[in-house]
Structure 1
Amino acid sequence: MAGFPRRPATRAAGRKDMTRNAPPGGLPRRALLAAALAAPAIARAQGSGADWPSRPVRYINPYPPGGPTDTLSRIFCARMSEITGQQFVVENRSGSGGNVGADAVAKSAPDGYTLGLGGIASHAIAPTLYRSLPFDAARDFTFVTGLWQLPNLLAVNLQVPAKTVPELIALLKANPGKYSYGSAGAGTTLHLAGAMFGQMAGVEMVHVPYRGSAPAQLDLIAGRIAMMFDNIPGTLSLARQGQVRPLAVTSAGRSPAAPEIPAISEYLPGFDVVSWTTLSGPAGLPPAMVARMNALSRQALESEPLIRGYRDLGAEPWWTTPEDIAGYRAAQEARLAPLIRASGARVE
């Protein structure tokens, strides 16, 4: 009876079988183990950020194009492009007072190639102003550095008799509730500057919120509102044209853009309300990458072309360490929360 054919020999007798326990078509287990042990080290080297940026970076600006925030962002991104040799592309994602753009940053991949503009509106005011947010201002971001600080300017219409802050305070105390002030909307730094002024000066004013600064400026010029707290670029231009009377800036000290105008703090010590911004990314960016981002941002923020461009718009470059900006944000939220609640501003 014929038997089954004998399986042909595949190797010389006595040779060690190097493919034993290897996966079909794969490497021996020893090689796989070595590769597995090396993989984390390779991943750490690739994700350390030592070569950041190695491709274009998307920068999300949560405000519409054309305004001071957009212009300042583009000045910064242009300098970063020159320093790094990679394009920093500004993408405008406006809506909900900056929250739409902030949410886009929070939900991006933590690879360092989507960053964005954060600041007082989305990261310090919104947590108290809005009943609910799609992000957590403290936990969902990696803060890289500050970018700039921009004071507001207190200006009155030309029919208001006060020419100084003390004269304005005396006028308001003599006429409680008679004079109104405009802002770009409830819960903005412009509104909160007025609320803080009222509290610290012990005066009563009527707040008139507008949908943006432009209509409020028109009513200020026309005399339909008595005064306005506004970002310095627009109102300073009106003041220098003789259309409104500037009284003081809202920063802790005088602005280099208009050193002749006093600060409210010179009359009300401790008064300080400025629009501030941060460069931030999603939570989880590698620390070494954040350190490199911070160092490159410092080069940009301390460069003469950027300083000139910022100061032309009334802004001051503001480099910080990542730890300092995270702490500053938290302190600002805590400081502004009681003021927001007292003002009655709330967004559902």
Structure 2
Amino acid sequence: MPTATRWPRRAALLAAAAASARPARAQPSAEWPTQPVRYINLYAPGGSTDILSRIWCHRMSALTGQQFVIEARTGAGGTVGQAAIARAAPDGYTIGLGSIATLAIGPSLYPVLGYDPARDFTMISGLWRLPNLLIINNALPARSVPELIALLKREPGRYAFGSGGSGTTVHLAGEMFKQQAGVEMVHVPFRGEAAAMVDLLAGRIHMVFGNIPSAIAQVRDGSARPLAVTGLERSPVAPEVPTLAETLPGFDITSWNGVVGPAGLPPAVLARLMALTAQALADPALMHSYKENGAVPWSTTPEEFASFRAAEERRFAEIIRISGAKAD
């Protein structure tokens, strides 16, 4: 009997020792990443999210020694790419953009999203915040927001504004402008903001409430005329341009974007991603590049990011209800 009882105990001890000697596959080590990381952008190359994402990915590559490779998954106002992130394996090697458009505006704009913003993602950190910039085609006979409103009221429905897709802040800023100014315009969604800018310069559309990094480039080379920024304060990259709130009190749409992963990201990977992101956003070179593009670095904890996203979803649900915005 004694011999019979010792063998199971010895086998159990040996199994436990062997298990402790094996690497734990379910819990990636703090040395993540050990291979390139795929970063899914929700919008086409050339727009503001592409510019600012590349700045962050470049810094993350320098900090980790691994490439952060950007993959554009466009469509349906960014929701196609957002769904792709939600479906990815939660191993830390597929992460991507978490956008105001897809995580806060989309739930009230689209009847079906293909993901649940509160359930299907690991919120990692904010990345940047920035207002939009209303720019118009140079041929349009308006030099100020009041002049633009007067023009739109004289010929309701004649003029069009473009966006990088339904549900983006570029779209919703236009819808909010229509509602508050009491004007009618046609919304023309494009597959990315860069495409909207091409048609603006060609005169096929008349205005864009563009994110500052892409819109300011058109202003600096004289291709388009700036009329206003959509935040409550003037932008340091265009301090001479008034806010829309100076004409339409209370007007405020400030774009924000962060980095997210699929739900269930291992705690060790999440902690390292958050720490590295905070380090990257504090880098003077990154801060300078963001400022040049009109953006403010925005570092948060995962908990802060999740709470902020939920509050923004509630705020935009009301804006969408009042404005009557629809997904095109």
How far did 1:297 drift? 0.3
How far did 1:144 drift? 0.7
Q: Distance in 2 between matches of 1:245 and 1:258?
A: 12
Alignment of 1:130 with 2:116, yes or no, is no
- Counterpart AA for 2:74: S
Task: State the SS of the aligned residue for 1:47.
Answer: coil
Equivalent residue number for residue 82 of structure 1: 62
Equivalent residue number for residue 276 of structure 2: 296
1:252-271 aligned at under 5 Å gives the runs 252-271=232-251
Equivalent residue number for residue 220 of structure 2: 240
Task: State the SS of the aligned residue for 1:228.
Answer: strand
Equivalent residue number for residue 93 of structure 1: 73
Answer with 53-62 or 122-131: which moved more. Answer: 53-62
Alignment of 1:28 with 2:39, yes or no, is no
- Counterpart AA for 2:10: P
Change in Cα spacing, 1:211 to 1:61, as seen in structure 2 (3 Å) is closer
Any stretches of 5+ residues in structure 2 without a counterpart? Answer: none
Change in Cα spacing, 1:85 to 1:249, as seen in structure 2 (3 Å) is same
- Counterpart AA for 1:345: K
Alignment of 1:205 with 2:191, yes or no, is no
In the superposition, the TM-score normalised over structure 1's length comes to 0.79
Task: Verify the 8 A CA contact 1:153 1:246 in the aligned structure 2.
Answer: yes
Bigger-Rg structure (1/2): 1
Identity of aligned residues (%): 53
CA displacement 1:193-248 (0-9 Å, x = unmatched): 122123334x2122231425456545545666553322223432332333432111
Equivalent residue number for residue 180 of structure 1: 159
1:1-348 aligned at under 5 Å gives the runs 17=3, 22=8, 28-31=10-13, 34=16, 43=24, 47=27, 50-169=30-149, 172=152, 175=154, 177=156, 180-184=159-163, 185-201=165-181, 203-212=182-191, 213=193, 216-217=196-197, 220-221=200-201, 225-341=205-321, 342-346=323-327
CA displacement 1:75-117 (0-9 Å, x = unmatched): 2111112112233222333333322222222122222222111
Change in Cα spacing, 1:207 to 1:274, as seen in structure 2 (3 Å) is farther
In the superposition, the TM-score normalised over structure 2's length comes to 0.83
Task: Verify the 8 A CA contact 2:77 2:166 in the aligned structure 1.
Answer: no
> How many pairs align?
324
Q: Distance in 2 between matches of 1:81 and 1:222?
A: 37
Task: Verify the 8 A CA contact 1:143 1:326 in the aligned structure 2.
Answer: yes
